[in-house]
Structure formats: C-alpha cells, structure tokens
Amino acid sequence: MSFFHLRTLAGNGWPALPNPPFSLLWSAYQQLDRTQWLDAPALERGQLVQLRTLLAHCREHVPYYRRVLREAGVDVAGLRSPADFRRVPVLTRHGVQRSAPDLQAAVLPAGTVAGDTITTSGSSGVPVTVGLTNASQLWWFACYLRDLEWSGLDPRGRLAAVRYFKTTGEAGRQALEGVRVPYWNDVLAQLAENGPSYGMDVHQDPRRQLDWLRRVDPDYLLSFPSNLEFLAGLVAESGVRLPKLRAIQAVSETLTDEARAGIESAFGVPVRNTYSCAEAGYLASPCPAGHGLHVHAENVYLEVLDDAGDPVAPGETGRVVLTTLHNFRTPFVRYEVMDRATVAAGPCPCGRGLPLLTAVSGKSHPVLQLPDGSWQNSSRLAVRMRKIGGFYQFRIAQLAPDRYAVRVIPRADWSPDHAGRVVDMVREFCRHAVEVTVETATHRELSAAGKAADIVVAPARPPGPGATG
C-alpha cells in the first residue's frame, strides 16, 4: 500500500492514478522504490551508465568540461569503474565561481527544459549559482517523496516551518508574524492529499516563534538546528511541550549528536536530519530502520575521499565530493562541497543497497591558530562549550590567536560560575592563558539566510597548514 494518498484522475477511483502532469514524477518515485533494493554492484553499474551519458554531454556542450576532460585524458566511452571516473579533476567552490560562464551548457538534451536559477546561501563564504532543469527538479522532488516516506512524515498532518523566507516589504513582514497555506507545497498538493502548512521567518525572536508554534499546534516542525536548539532551551525551561508534535526535521545546518539529544529531550519527539544542498538537492536521508543516512544514489554520485583523493576505508571520515547525475544545464562533476562524512563499516542491515553514511559533519568548523603558532580545528571547542550549558545560544569569536570574545544568550540558570568555566575551557583548549571576554546578550546574531555560526574567526583569514582536529 502506498504511503501517499494520491489525488487520483477524475473518474478513476481505483486503482489510483495521478493526474497526467504528475504521472512522470510518480513513475520516478516508484523507480526509487525499486532501485533502493538493488545491491551495491548493480547500483554502481547504473551510476556508471548515467555518468557516461553525463560526461558525453559535458564534453560536447559545456566549455569547462570539454577542456578538463581533454587535458585529463578521460576516455568517456571507456569509463568502466570508479577509478576511471576519478581521473576527472575535483572542482572546488572557488573553481565554480571562476569558471561560472563556462560551466553552463550551450545545448540541453531533447525534452530537457531550463528551469529556475538558484544561489546558495554562501555560508562557506563562497556562494554558487545553479541553473536547474525540469529533469533535475523531477529527481529532486522524487527524492523528497522518498524522504517523506522514510521519515514517516505524513503530508496529511499539519507542518510548521521556521526557516528563511526570501521576501521583503509587506510579504516579509507577514512572514515574520507567521503565514498559513492550505498545503505543504503546490506540487505535492496536486499529487497527494495534504494538510495545511504554516511558515515563519527564522529571524523572528525564538520566544515569539514558540508562542506561534503553540497556537499552530503542528504535527511536524521543520527548522535549522541552531534555531531548534534555542527553542529546545525555551521548551525545557517552561516545561510546556507541543502536544500534537510527532517529529522534527532539521535542515540546512549541521546537526551534532549533542544538539540532537538536547532537542529530542526537550520536545520529546525524534529529530530527523536530511542531508541536502542547493547545488544537488537531496544527497542522503535517514535510513527508515535507523542505521544512518542512505545516499540517494539515483540522484548523485557521492564520493568520500581522504586527503590524497582516494576513497576512505569503511568506517572512516573524509571530504565529500559529489556529481549531480541529472542536471545537464549546470553540471557539477566531482564537486567538493566542503562537507565531511563518515562511511559505514559495512552494508546496511535494513537490506537497502544504497551507500550508507553514519555521520555528516557539514561545513567544517574553522581552524584556529593557537598562541604557540600551531593550528587546531575548533569543533572540540563547540562540544566543550555545549557541555557547560546555561545558555540558549552561544558564539565564540577568535579576534587574534591570544584573544577571544564569547557571547551567550543566557538562560535563567546562567551565573558568574558559568562565565568562569567558559574562560577556563577556552584557555585549556588554547593551552595558553589567552584573553577571554564573556558577555551576555538578548538577541541572536544571524546571517542574512537566518543561519547562526557558533564559532567564527574575525577578521576572516584562511586557515594555515598542518591543522589538527
């Protein structure tokens, strides 16, 4: 029985058939239901077929790849293995910016039509523009349907989303106060039965967000992890939960184990964390059996590589390099997204052959230069800060190798002792008696896209070599 309740073709009560404009989407979703059970070798063979098709198109119609494939000596027709594919050079985000005009296809395949153009938020400091097509958006939405099913998010329920709204003027003011539409999104509404959805701009004060959420009384809540952490602190402090809430979906930012535990404890419901990016859409979603994140191998070819550019061993962590399999307008081939992921030690016990990731760290925490001249990844600093507690949100800014400014939005139990522990913790991390100032604030510092960075380097500067984690 289908997870979704289709809006069937008029005059056709059973078996259910989607309206003609959405029959291709429904077919793609059903293909995903089949291919998820293929074993790893069969999935790899299918990906190589699509990679040869993609590279042949790139060689003919995309100036950047025409040059790169020629210089690398890549035999597109003879591409038979992942090792063959790794002859294609890795493309960085800065490389995308430098070569932007040459990354656009001059011609699209028959039946492929240019769609929306989107720009990433630039949270890495390097925004990227992507041209979509009807084909790339088709697979993007098919993976969305799979993600809903795997996560058990029934679209007939009430969804509340606290996220960034790209609106200004009166529409922007309305988004700050909260808006309602009678469906989750317009495509899904025409394909399957939908409940209403409610939206609020993440720039709204979290206290007002929570008041709004209590009025909306949703079945599902979607927001950024940093915002959910703040809301979780408010819920824990008040002891009042959302009575109908069934699950939370965290999107866009990295969800740490510590943050997940705090959010789940406060709200009393599971937190799902989908891995996606603007350049490729859905990359991985939670295994329905709870064993990690399954890569949407039909949508992307995802590599996890070590510093030498070789695939990491099972159980190890490396940098994520991806290839979009169906975007022939702005192809991203072996594109480094500046995320890190951990590969599972073996096949998933659920029986799906899709690649399995046990963790995704997202955009890396900045690497900090210590007073002795060495470098260290700041992720452990964030973990230690969360263990101190006493705040809704924090921000640690390194102003110089020997100078830090810590800003917290305090909870009711914050005390001078907490501030002293923060100073000691930063000095222990730096292995030096650095200058640390701790100040309290009442409002958050968010990016234009509504994201909150917990550790920053000011003024910004590139990390040095030899950084350690």
Task: Kindly give the confidence (pLDDT) of every residue in the chain, 469 residues in length, as a single tens digit, with 9 standing for 90 and above.
Answer: 579 999 988 888 888 889 888 999 999 999 999 999 999 999 999 999 999 999 999 999 999 999 999 999 999 999 999 999 999 999 998 888 888 899 999 999 999 999 999 877 555 556 788 999 999 999 999 999 999 999 999 999 999 999 988 888 898 899 999 999 999 999 999 999 999 999 999 999 999 999 999 999 999 999 999 999 999 999 999 998 999 999 999 988 888 888 899 999 999 999 999 999 889 999 999 999 999 999 999 999 999 999 999 999 999 999 999 999 999 999 999 999 989 999 999 999 999 999 999 999 865 567 788 898 887 778 778 888 988 989 988 999 999 999 999 999 999 999 999 999 999 999 999 988 899 999 999 888 887 777 888 888 876 444 443 332 2
Query: Span 141-275: which CATH code?
Result: 3.40.50.12780
pLDDT at 466: 35
d(CA 424, CA 404): 12
Burial tier of 278 (Cβ tally within 10 Å: 0-12, 13-18, 19+): middle
| Chain CA centroid to CA 442, Å | 28
Tell me what pLDDT residue 142 has. Answer: 97
Q: How far apart are CA 178 and CA 161, in angstroms?
A: 10
Taking the C-alpha atoms of residue 449 and residue 431, their distance in angstroms, rounded to an integer, is 35
Three-state SS for 218? coil
Cα 187–Cα 192–Cα 195 angle in degrees, nearest 5: 90
Contact 272, 250 (CB under 8 A): yes
Q: What type of residue is 448?
A: A
Cβ atoms of residues 267 and 232 within 8 Å: yes
What tokens does 40 get? 């790893």
pLDDT at 125: 53
Residue type, 149: E
Q: What is the pLDDT of residues 388-424, one digit of tens each?
A: 989 988 999 999 999 999 999 999 999 999 999 999 9
- Which structure tokens are listed for 22? 């959405």
Residue 453 pLDDT: 82
Maximum C-alpha span of the chain? 77
Which of 73, 8, 61 lies closest to 329, judged by CA? 61
DSSP H or E segment with residue 429: helix 416-430
Following DSSP, what letter does each residue of 265-325 receive, concatenated? HHH-S-EEE-EEETTTEEEEEE-TTSSSEEE-TTTEEEEEE-TTSSBPPTT-EEEEEEEES
Instruction: Yes or no: say if 263 and 229 are a contact pair by the CB < 8 Å rule.
Output: yes
Handedness of CA 11, 17, 19, 20 (dihedral sign): negative
Q: What residue ranges do the domains of the chain occupy?
A: 21-82+100-105+276-358, 141-275, 367-457
Query: How far apart (Å, rounded) are the C-alpha atoms in residues 322 and 314?
Result: 18
Residue 375, CB-side half-sphere exposure with 13 Å CA sphere: 13
Amino acid making up residue 431: R
| 153 touches 192 (CB < 8 A) | no
How many Å apart are CA 356 and CA 348, to the nearest integer? 7
Residues 304, 286 contacting (CB under 8 angstroms): no
Confidence (pLDDT) at 362: 65
Buried b vs exposed e over 12-28: b needs ≥16 C-beta within 10 Å? eeeeebbeeebeebbeb
Is the peptide bond between 459 and the residue preceding it cis, with omega within 30 degrees of 0? Answer: yes
| 3-state secondary structure (DSSP) of residue 259 | helix
The alpha-helical segments, DSSP class H, found in 17-119 are: 23-35, 40-61, 63-72, 82-85, 93-98
How far apart, in whole angstroms, are the C-alpha atoms of residue 275 and residue 255? 10
* N-terminal to C-terminal alpha carbon distance within the chain: 47
CB 222 within 8 A of CB 208: no
Closest-CA residue to 435 (of 397, 378, 464, 383): 397
Q: Of 94, 89, 144, which is closest to residue 338 (Cα–Cα)?
A: 94
Helix axes 134-151, 23-35, angle to 10 degrees: 60
Instruction: Write down the residue that tokens 């690649």 correspond to.
Output: 355
Q: What is the pTM of this model?
A: 0.85
Query: Look-up: residue for tokens 């056709």?
Result: 12
* Inter-residue contact 43 to 50 (CB < 8 Å): no
Nearest to 221 by CA among 267, 280, 279: 267
Alpha-carbon separation of residue 269 from 100, 240, 425, 442 (angstroms): 43, 13, 32, 28
Instruction: Dihedral sign for Cα 260, 263, 267, 268, please.
Output: positive
Any idea which fold 367-457 has?
A: GMP Synthetase; Chain A, domain 3 (3.30.300)
Helix (H/G/I), strand (E/B), else coil: 235: helix
Q: What residues pair up with 437 in beta bridges, in sequence order? A: 405
Return the SS3 of 144: helix
